[in-house]
Amino acid sequence: MNTVAYDILDEIIERKLKSRHRIFADKEKLHPDYIPDYLPHREEQIKRVASILVSALEGVRPSNILIYGLTGTGKTAVTLYVLKRLGKKAIDFDARFKYAYVNTRKTDTTYRVLADIARSLGLRIPYTGLAIAEVYRRYVEALENWGGVHIVVLDEIDYYVRKHGDDLLYKLTRINEELEHSKVSLIGITNDINFVENLDPRVRSSLGEEEIVFPPYNAEQLYDILMERAKQAFNPNTISNEVIRYCAALAAREHGDARRALDLLRVAGEIAEREMAEKVTVKHVKKAAMEIEYGRIQQVVSTLPLHAKLVLKAIIVLVRKHGHATTGETYNYYREFARSIGLEPLTQRRVSELINELDMLGLVNAVVVNRGRYGKTKMIRVGDLIDVIDDALERFMGE
C-alpha cells in the first residue's frame, strides 16, 4: 500500500521536475548579470576598452575612461568582460593588477562606495562605524603597500553624483598625486547623456581622458545577441528563429535595449514552461511583453506621490466618461478627490506639472491643443492599459 502511494508521488514529482526543465537548459544564461564569453556587435568597444587598459599589465596607469550610452547597450557587460579577461592575463604575466566594480545606484552612500573599493584590495572594512576619511586613508595606505594598478569602475555614476555631488569623483581623479607605489584609473559609466554634459568641466576632463559611446543595437544585432544566449539557455527545438526575431523586433522598437530583449525571451520561456508547452511561441512572447509591462506599471504607480495618484485617478474617470480629459476638468475632479479625503489640494499649476510627469512616465498621453479664444488646454488620453493602471491605483492608493 505504502510503496504504491510512494511510487505515485514519485511519478508526480518527477513529471513536474521534467516539465520544468523541458524548455530551459540553463536559464542562468539569460540572467542580466551573466557575462557571456562572446558579445556580438561590441568588438569595437571591447577593443577600445582593452587597448586603453592593457598598459596596466605593465604597471603603467591607463587613461581614465568615461563610458556612456542608453540602457542595455552593453556598457556594463563589455567593461566587466574586459576586466575579467585582463585579470586572468595578469596572473599569467605576474602583474599587479586589480579592479573594483561598484554600481552606485545600488551602493548609494559614499561610505559604502569607498568601502567596496577598498575591499577589492582585500581590506576588511566594517559595514559602518568608520569615518569616511578613515576608509579613504586605509585605501590609500593599502594601495601604497601593494604597489600595483587599481582600476575603479563606478557604474551608473549619475545616481551617485545626483545624490551626493561630485566631490568623491574629484578626489578620486586626484588620488594619484598622493600615491608613489600604486596607480589608480577610473572608469565612469552612465546611461545619462545629460549627466555627462552637466558634469563639472574639471571632473569631465579628467574622468573623460578617453570617452567611449555605446550606440543602441538595431533589430538584427539584437537578433544575433539573443541567438547566442538562447543557444546556451534553451533546450534544442524549444525555441525558433521566428520567436527570437520577434523578441528582437519588440526590443528594437524601444531604442534597442538588449536587457529588455533578454527579459522578453526569458519571461516567454517561463510562460511556456508554466503552460507545459513543448516550445516557446510568438504568443508566449506577446504574453511576456504584457506581463513585463504590467509589472512596470505596478512599479511606477506604486511609487507615485499621493497627489499624483489622485490626478491620475481623475484622468482615468474622465477618460472613461468622454474618451479624454482636459487640464481644467482634471483639476476639478482632482480637487474633489483631494478634499474628500481631507487633503488640501495643490494649485492648478502644480497639477499641470504632475500631468507632465505622468506623461513622461508613459502613464498618460497629453497633447496641447489650441481652442481659439478659449486658449490652450491639454488633451489627455490613456492607452490600452487603462484597466491595468486603474487596478494598480486601487492597490496602491493608500500607500
Ligand X SMILES: Nc1ncnc2c1ncn2[C@@H]1O[C@H](COP(=O)(O)OP(=O)(O)O)[C@@H](O)[C@H]1O
Q: Which residues bind ligand X (CB under 6 A)?
A: 32, 36, 39-42, 69, 71-77, 191, 225, 258-259, 262
Question: Using CA atoms, how far apart are residues 380 and 390, in angstroms rounded to an integer?
Answer: 16
Which of ligand X, Mg ion, none interacts with 77 (beta carbon under 5 to 8 A by kind)? ligand X
Which of ligand X, Mg ion, none interacts with 206 (beta carbon under 5 to 8 A by kind)? none
244 or 258: whose CB is closer to ligand X?
258
Tell me the closest approach of the beta carbon of residue 174 to Mg ion, in angstroms.
26
Q: What is the dihedral of CA 334, 335, 338, 343, to 10 degrees?
A: 150
Tell me the closest approach of the beta carbon of residue 272 to Mg ion, in angstroms.
28
Which of Mg ion, ligand X, none interacts with 258 (beta carbon under 5 to 8 A by kind)? ligand X
Q: What is the dihedral of CA 191, 193, 198, 200, to 10 degrees?
A: 60
Question: Using CA atoms, how far apart are residues 107 and 113, in angstroms rounded to an integer?
Answer: 6
Stretch touching Mg ion by CB under 5 A, among 76-84, 116-124, 293-301, 366-374? 76-84
Question: CB under 8 Å to 115, separation ≥6 — which residues?
Answer: 125, 127, 135
Q: Which of 370, 322, 324, 329 is nearest to 348 (CA)?
A: 329
Contact assessment for residue 105 and residue 189, using Cβ atoms and an 8 Å cutoff: no
191 or 327: whose CB is closer to ligand X?
191
Tell me the closest approach of the beta carbon of residue 75 to ligand X, in angstroms.
3
Long-range contacts of 337-340 (CB under 8 A, 24+ apart): 337/310, 337/313, 338/307, 338/310
226 or 318: whose CB is closer to ligand X?
226
Tell me the closest approach of the beta carbon of residue 288 to ligand X, in angstroms.
16
Question: Using CA atoms, how far apart are residues 268 and 315, in angstroms rounded to an integer?
Answer: 33
Q: Of the candidates 45, 64, 73, 76, which one interacts with Mg ion according to CB under 5 A?
A: 76
Q: Are strands 376-381 and 365-370 parallel, antiparallel or unpaired?
A: antiparallel
Tell me the closest approach of the beta carbon of residue 314 to ligand X, in angstroms.
36
153 or 393: whose CB is closer to ligand X?
153
Residue 45, interface with Mg ion (CB under 5 A)? no
Tell me the closest approach of the beta carbon of residue 226 to ligand X, in angstroms.
8
Conformational region of residue 360, where left means phi above 0, alpha means psi within -120 to 50, and beta covers everything else:
alpha
Which of Mg ion, ligand X, none interacts with 262 (beta carbon under 5 to 8 A by kind)? ligand X
Establish how many alpha carbons lie within 13 A of residue 92's alpha carbon, considering only the half-sphere containing its beta carbon: 5
Give the binding site for Mg ion (CB under 5 A). 76
